[in-house]
């Protein structure tokens, strides 16, 4: 909707806007979880999100969005990105509390099968909605799914050990509480392992942000609104098949047999190959292939391995670390890229589609630069103490 309501040239600006919003939303989410629990926060966030999406549905169908396109469409993009980020942080926070590290290595591929099946269902659902209605009909379906996802999240809470998600309490009497500085060694952001996870996450997200921009810019250059929605639905279906294979066959082998280092190398390798293809031709077919590889490997092997890495983060630091790396960092990288693209476009006058090739060169180099980072991260992960014994 953003691409047709405005144009692909608006992408850098909304990427920056999303980053600004996430900087405020994620610390608030982490704080709410620390004084309550993930399930309660998830319920509250879901109800709030449904209310906001209802407002956008009203604006799209009454002409308000067309009266104020420079306000409504960017804010809609921001809301969708924030919804995705918050829900994923809370989902993994709840889900991974149900497993030990060894159990997660065996079962996380099956858990992530839900995402693969969701992509398949999403592709079919979007195609049907567009055929019989229009792209705006996706919003009511999204609100229904937001409510439905509360059911499995509520059920799985029975498997969370009681001592794993209690609100943080100060030890001792108020007089015994020592004021800690911002650089205290126990702070989650002072943990070297968490810092390295953040660096890896930032570099990965910066690279796939390039892929996402290339994909959106190319589709906006060649297709209309329904064409973009249809191709994106096809992308979800193709990615679902690939994710199913990777989750069931490749992820368990890599995590249990080859090791974390091998699992971490998969996504950078896929990015290098995908960007090399885009350097050869900037077409819908090629960006579709590259985006498919991103969906297939980042949302399976890469994300699954990241959740295993979090098992080595001290439990008291986990929600803050997860909210920052999976939330804030995940949007700070697109924010940085958006700022750079705004500057480049302002200086050169190039359109969004004309930046696809230069971004391919940059993303290919960034992907290659990920290799030493992930190898060092894997080495550090092997040296971490078992937090499940703490």
- Give 329's contacts (C-beta < 8 A, 6+ positions apart): 198, 201, 202, 205
* Residue ranges covered by each domain of the chain: 2-160+188-389
Average pLDDT of the chain is 81
pLDDT at 58 over 80: yes
- Give 318's contacts (C-beta < 8 A, 6+ positions apart): 93, 310
Least confident residue range of 20-24, 82-86, 106-110: 106-110
Choose which CATH entry (3.90.1170.20, 1.20.1250.20, 3.30.70.20, 1.10.150.130) describes domain 2-160+188-389.
1.20.1250.20
Q: In angstroms, rounded to a whole number, what is the distance separating the alpha carbons of residues 52 and 29?
A: 17
pLDDT at 177 over 50: no
pLDDT in tens, 201-240: 899 989 989 999 999 899 988 988 778 878 887 887 788 8
pLDDT in tens, 326-335: 777 777 888 8
Least confident residue range of 40-44, 128-132, 370-374, 384-388: 384-388
Q: In angstroms, rounded to a whole number, what is the distance separating the alpha carbons of residues 115 and 312?
A: 24
Q: What is the pLDDT of residue 27?
A: 83
Q: For residue 43, what are its two tokens?
A: 């319920």
pLDDT in tens, 139-158: 888 888 888 888 887 777 77
pLDDT at 68 over 90: no
Q: What is the pLDDT of residue 288?
A: 94
Nearest to 128 by CA among 218, 6, 288, 236: 236
Nearest to 298 by CA among 256, 338, 251: 251
**CB distance 90 to 179 below 8 Å:** no
pLDDT in tens, 291-309: 999 988 988 888 888 888 8
Q: What is the pLDDT of residue 357?
A: 94
Q: What is the pLDDT of residue 186?
A: 65
Q: What is the pLDDT of residue 173?
A: 45
Residue with more model confidence, 305 or 91: 305
Distance of CA 311 to the CA centre of its chain: 19
pLDDT at 24 over 70: yes
Q: What is the pLDDT of residue 363?
A: 93
């Amino acid at each position: 909707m953003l691409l047709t309501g405005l144009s692909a040239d608006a992408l850098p600006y909304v990427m920056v806007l999303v980053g600004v919003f996430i900087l405020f939303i994620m610390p608030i989410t982490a704080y709410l979880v620390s004084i309550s629990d993930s399930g309660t926060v998830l319920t509250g966030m879901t109800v709030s999100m449904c209310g906001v999406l209802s407002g956008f549905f009203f604006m799209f169908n009454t002409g308000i969005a067309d009266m104020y396109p420079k306000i409504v469409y960017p804010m809609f993009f921001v809301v969708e990105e924030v919804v995705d980020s918050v829900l994923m942080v809370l989902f993994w926070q709840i889900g991974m509390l149900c497993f030990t590290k060894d159990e997660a290595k065996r079962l996380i591929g099956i858990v992530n099968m839900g995402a693969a099946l969701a992509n398949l269902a999403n592709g079919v659902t979007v195609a049907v909605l567009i055929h019989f209605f229009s792209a705006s009909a996706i919003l009511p379906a999204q609100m229904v799914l937001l409510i439905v996802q509360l059911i499995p999240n509520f059920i799985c809470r029975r498997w969370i050990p009681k001592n794993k998600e209690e609100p943080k309490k100060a030890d001792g009497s108020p007089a015994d509480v020592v004021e800690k500085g911002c650089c205290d060694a126990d702070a989650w952001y002072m943990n070297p392992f968490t810092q390295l996870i953040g660096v890896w996450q930032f570099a990965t997200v910066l690279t796939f942000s390039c892929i996402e921009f290339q994909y959106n810019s190319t589709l906006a250059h060649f297709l209309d609104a329904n064409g973009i929605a249809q191709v994106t639905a096809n992308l979800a279906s193709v990615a679902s098949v690939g994710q199913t294979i990777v989750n069931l066959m490749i992820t368990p082998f890599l995590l249990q047999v080859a090791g974390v280092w091998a699992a971490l190398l998969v996504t950078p390798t896929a990015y290098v190959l995908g960007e090399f293809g885009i350097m050869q031709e900037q077409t819908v077919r090629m960006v579709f292939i590259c985006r498919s590889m991103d969906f297939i490997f980042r949302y399976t092997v890469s994300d699954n391995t990241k959740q295993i890495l979090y098992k080595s983060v001290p439990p008291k630091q986990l929600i803050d670390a997860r909210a920052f790396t999976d939330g804030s960092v995940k949007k700070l990288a697109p924010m940085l890229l958006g700022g750079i693209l705004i500057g480049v476009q302002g200086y050169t006058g190039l359109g969004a589609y004309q930046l696809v090739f230069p971004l391919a060169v940059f993303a290919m180099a960034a992907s290659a630069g990920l290799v030493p980072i992930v190898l060092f991260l894997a080495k550090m992960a092997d040296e971490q103490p078992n937090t499940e014994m703490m």
